[in-house]
């Protein structure tokens, strides 16, 4: 007799697993025949939440019913997420039951009705989220409640701690461990690899993990994948850092603060982000990675994540208070977020910008070099490597000397080798229709153009931006250049550009 569903006979509740090759991201989905004996006997209906068990592994999935031969009446079809979480092979026997009630939903309801989240309740919620027990409906309710009735300092600390506790944690046998983060990416704001190279060349330990793009044309991991391998496991990452002092690897495989991925997906769908959730998201990943000293870049601008100075200052304050609770030294920089950084938008084009900066190429984008040195300098000062006010000059010095580039190449070789970025086959400049002054650059639509061109899937696709705010341009002068891997995609991106002539706004001089 099964302890979770006392009294229920188990044999009628077993179906054979069938892999449907269905990509649903994080969502565990199960498909059974409407006339399956399990549905009849258990009273499962469409959209039921069900518990699926394979040996010692158990998950909660959403059940759908089908009347076609997608599955037989002895089979249960599963999405890739469910398949992975259950560790299945074709033909495995799956035991299906009613899930135990989610006790932690009571805490969510309490929050909705105005109670404060306590540490134990918060940990229970986050544990259930990480185990995949929350549906989108539950996740959205939690995220919304944390925005409608904002988290206070104690709740933010509890949430941060719960997110750390429910994932992997890395420890280091030395200190300080440096790290950096940017809140809400501007297209092209790819300072990370440069900051890592500068800091590591000066002897700092900076084991940097980065994400792939979710909705943007490139994440730092996508960009660095152009020049080296980024999909390292924990041991390989530790080896690289022990050897070179720094790394730039993909964080997805590290399982740091896994609740964050689930929450970010919902926040994005709702376009809601609460300060408390943002602070917990940022700090939990850093704490889990073992960081002790962190510089946080907060770009402020109309199309950035943080849109006002007041919001940036409030965020700074909460970041610092929560960090203090965990013994972290955090310095946050409020920076200009009114336009993209550098020239390239798209993995290979951004990688080229990074290399140009590191190689001191005369055409290197000065704004990218400047931002990278600002952040690296702040980090050098924070860990006490540079005196107050002397960090940026120290960063600039190792950049100019070529020491940062040498370190960059060494890290790449330690991660699996260094490759020069390739160039896209097709390109087309987009010209100014008339003379004017650049008064606005819509970062969001520019990112969309780069995605339509094929980024980040097509590594060399994207665009190069040739103008910056305030520039005066002649009629017919290129504003930006599209790059694509196929002629079809080029036509496609151009179509969008033609329909959106105001992505870069020109005002008559």
Cα 188–Cα 241–Cα 187 angle in degrees, nearest 5: 5
- The CA distance from 61 to 86, in Å, is 11
Q: Which one of 16, 24, 236, 437 is in contact with a second copy (CB under 8 A)?
A: 24
Q: Compute the half-sphere exposure of residue 115: CA atoms within 13 Å on the CB side of its CA.
A: 11
Q: Which one of 203, 498, 502, 509 is in contact with a second copy (CB under 8 A)?
A: 498
Report the residue number, 244 or 489, with the smaller CB distance to a second copy. Answer: 489
Note whether 373 and 404 are within 8 A (CB): no
- The CA distance from 126 to 130, in Å, is 6
Note whether 191 and 368 are within 8 A (CB): yes
Active-site residue 356, yes or no? Answer: no
Cα 140 to Cα 47, 48, 83, 131, 163: the distances in Å are 17, 18, 24, 16, 17
Task: Enumerate residues 6+ apart whose C-beta is below 8 A from 200.
Answer: 206, 244, 245, 246, 407, 411
Looking at 40-48, 163-171, 279-287, 337-345, which segment touches a second copy (CB under 8 A)? 40-48
- Number of amino acids touching a second copy (CB under 8 A): 66
Q: Is 269 in the site for a second copy (CB under 8 A)?
A: yes
Q: What single-letter DSSP state applies at residue 253?
A: G
Cα 21 to Cα 26, 59, 148, 437: the distances in Å are 14, 18, 38, 51
| Cis check: omega of the bond before 176, within 30 degrees of 0 | yes
- Catalytic option among 128, 222, 260, 273: 273
Both structure tokens of 460: 């060399």
- Residues 134-193 within binding reach of a second copy (CB under 8 A): 135-141, 143-145, 147-149
Q: Is 433 in the site for a second copy (CB under 8 A)?
A: no
Q: Is 12 exposed, middle or buried (0-12, 13-18, 19+ CB in 10 A)?
A: middle
Question: Shortest Cβ distance from residue 251 to a second copy (Å)?
Answer: 19
Question: Shortest Cβ distance from residue 115 to a second copy (Å)?
Answer: 11
Q: Which one of 120, 270, 310, 422 is in contact with a second copy (CB under 8 A)?
A: 270
Q: Is 272 in the site for a second copy (CB under 8 A)?
A: yes
Q: Is 73 in the site for a second copy (CB under 8 A)?
A: no
Looking at 53-61, 67-75, 184-192, 348-356, which segment touches a second copy (CB under 8 A)? 67-75
Question: Shortest Cβ distance from residue 106 to a second copy (Å)?
Answer: 9
Q: Is 68 in the site for a second copy (CB under 8 A)?
A: yes
Task: Kindly state the helix (H) or strand (E) to which residue 156 belongs, with its residue range.
Answer: helix 153-165
Q: x/- binding map, residues 82-121, to a second copy, per CB under 8 A?
A: -----------------------x--xx-xxxx-------
Binding site for a second copy (CB under 8 A): 6-9, 12, 19-25, 27, 31, 34, 40-41, 43, 46-47, 64-68, 70, 79, 105, 108-109, 111-114, 135-141, 143-145, 147-149, 265-266, 269-272, 451-452, 457, 488-489, 491-492, 495-500
Annotated active-site positions, please? 273
């Amino acid at each position: 007799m099964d302890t979770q569903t006392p009294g229920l006979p188990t044999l009628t509740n077993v179906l054979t697993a069938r892999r449907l090759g269905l990509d649903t991201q994080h969502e565990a989905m199960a498909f059974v025949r409407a006339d399956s004996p399990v549905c009849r006997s258990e009273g499962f209906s469409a959209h039921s939440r069900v518990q699926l068990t394979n040996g010692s592994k158990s998950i909660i999935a959403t059940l759908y019913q089908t009347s076609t031969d997608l599955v037989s009446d002895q089979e249960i079809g599963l999405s890739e997420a469910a398949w992975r979480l259950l560790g299945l092979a074709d033909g495995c026997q799956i035991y299906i039951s009613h899930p135990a009630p989610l006790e932690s939903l009571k805490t969510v309801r309490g929050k909705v009705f105005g109670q404060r989240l306590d540490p134990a309740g918060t940990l229970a919620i986050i544990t259930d989220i990480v185990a995949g027990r929350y549906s989108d409906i539950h996740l959205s309710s939690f995220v919304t409640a944390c925005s409608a009735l904002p988290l206070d300092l104690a709740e933010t600390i509890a949430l941060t701690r719960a997110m750390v506790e429910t994932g992997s944690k890395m420890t280091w046998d030395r200190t300080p461990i440096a790290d950096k983060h940017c809140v809400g990416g501007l297209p092209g704001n790819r300072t990370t690899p440069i900051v890592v190279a500068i800091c590591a060349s000066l002897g700092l330990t900076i084991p940097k993990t980065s994400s792939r793009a979710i909705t943007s044309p490139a994440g730092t991991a996508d960009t660095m994948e152009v020049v080296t391998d980024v999909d390292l496991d924990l041991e390989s990452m530790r080896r690289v850092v022990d050897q070179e002092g720094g790394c730039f690897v993909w964080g997805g495989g590290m399982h740091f603060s896994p609740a964050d991925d689930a929450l970010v997906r919902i926040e994005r769908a709702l376009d809601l982000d609460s300060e408390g959730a943002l602070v917990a998201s940022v700090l939990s990943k850093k704490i889990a990675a073992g960081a002790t000293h962190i510089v946080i870049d907060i770009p402020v601008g109309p199309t950035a994540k943080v849109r006002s100075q007041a919001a940036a200052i409030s965020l700074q304050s909460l970041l610092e208070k929560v960090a203090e609770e965990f013994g972290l030294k955090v310095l946050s920089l409020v920076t200009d977020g009114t336009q993209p950084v550098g020239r390239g938008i798209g993995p290979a084009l951004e990688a080229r910008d990074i290399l140009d900066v590191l190689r001191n190429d005369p055409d290197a984008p000065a704004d990218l070099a400047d931002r990278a040195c600002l952040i690296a300098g702040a980090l050098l000062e924070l860990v006490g490597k540079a005196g107050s006010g002397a960090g940026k000059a120290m960063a600039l010095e190792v950049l100019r000397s070529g020491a940062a580039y040498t370190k960059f190449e060494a890290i790449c070789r330690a991660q699996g080798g260094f490759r020069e970025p390739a160039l896209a086959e097709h390109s087309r400049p987009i010209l100014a229709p008339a003379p004017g002054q650049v008064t606005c650059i819509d970062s969001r639509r520019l990112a969309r153009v780069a995605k339509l061109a094929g980024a980040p899937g097509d590594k060399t696709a994207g665009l190069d931006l040739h103008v910056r705010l305030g520039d005066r341009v002649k009629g017919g002068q290129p504003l930006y250049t599209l790059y694509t891997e196929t002629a079809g995609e080029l036509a496609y991106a151009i179509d969008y550009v033609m329909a959106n002539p105001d992505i870069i706004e020109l005002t008559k001089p």
